[in-house]
Amino acid sequence: MIVWHQGALRPLEAVRIDPTDRGLALADGLFETMKARDGRVLHLERHWARLAEGARLLGIPLPLDETGLAAAARELLLANGWARGDAAVRLTLTRGPAPRGLLPPERPTPTLVMTAFACPEPLPPARAVLVKGVRRNELSPASRIKSLAYLDQILALREALAAGGDEAILCNTQGRLACASAANLFLVIEDRIWTPALSEGALPGIARALLLERARAQGLLAVEGELPRHLLARAREAFTTNVLTGVRAIASVDGFLFPEPCPGPLTRRLAELLESA
């Protein structure tokens, strides 16, 4: 496995992250997980925009620009034999090594590392669990950037697995629906597609944005809003979106099946819409 690290391609074994790196020590950083096709990252400009917004919010200087990111990702994909077909790239940006303590250094030396890997296979319909033990914190700006602080999502997924499910649905601090473990959440109620608003703690997912745009362009009613938990009982279909795995139907929540056969008709249609170029 060849890794892109601080401007150079190196074997994984030769890439050293310093134990004092603030990404490791304090989750002081960001990441992006990007789908690539035939050696090029898809929707690179959207990933770049989200990364740049996160870096601005955290005050981490970006060590490259959008063109540099495209070139680096391409080099990485080619070096790992992904010149053709689907693959994925994970980018991790941290504030870099620093002395102990919360106070960020005045002149950080950011760490930027990228790995390439096979694109995950499409997932079977999810058996979701409405998580009780942890809430998504929509009252932190970190809920709106793709930060390294993913522990709440891991706790949620662990709870779902322990309950016999394979995906978590998280509520925000107000008890309203927020997101899935590493994906955005959508419900189909009557003829509308609903998804939690960004202000509800939903990450601004790339697949989420694409799906909303494309659904609306088709004349479908797609609404971002405040979704009380009890709306789950009114949904005919439900699904998640993630840029790597696309649309994933949700078969059940806490064992209760949705009325439509899974995947439902609108879920299928939207999955195709998201797949289209």
Residues that bind a second copy (CB under 8 A): 3, 5, 12, 15-21, 23-28, 31, 33, 57-59, 88, 90, 92, 94, 99-104, 113, 115, 117, 120, 133-135, 137, 139-142, 147-155, 157-158, 173, 181-182
Q: In whole angstroms, how close is the CB of 202 to a second copy at the nearest point?
A: 16
Output 18 or 224, the one with its CB closest to a second copy: 18
Q: In whole angstroms, how close is the CB of 230 to a second copy at the nearest point?
A: 19
Q: In whole angstroms, how close is the CB of 166 to a second copy at the nearest point?
A: 9
Output 149 or 223, the one with its CB closest to a second copy: 149
- Please give the Cα distance from 156 to 273 (Å, whole number): 29
Give the tokens for residue 135: 């809430």
Beta carbons of 41 and 34 less than 8 angstroms apart? yes
Using left for φ > 0, alpha for ψ between -120 and 50, and beta otherwise, residue 190 falls in: left
- Please give the Cα distance from 185 to 169 (Å, whole number): 8
Output 133 or 265, the one with its CB closest to a second copy: 133
Output 88 or 262, the one with its CB closest to a second copy: 88
- Please give the Cα distance from 9 to 1 (Å, whole number): 10
Beta carbons of 168 and 156 less than 8 angstroms apart? yes
Output 137 or 252, the one with its CB closest to a second copy: 137
**What SS3 string covers 159-209?**
HHHHCCCCEEEEEECCCEEEEECCCEEEEEECCEEEEECHHHCCCCCHHHH
Q: In whole angstroms, how close is the CB of 215 to a second copy at the nearest point?
A: 26
Q: In whole angstroms, how close is the CB of 187 to a second copy at the nearest point?
A: 22
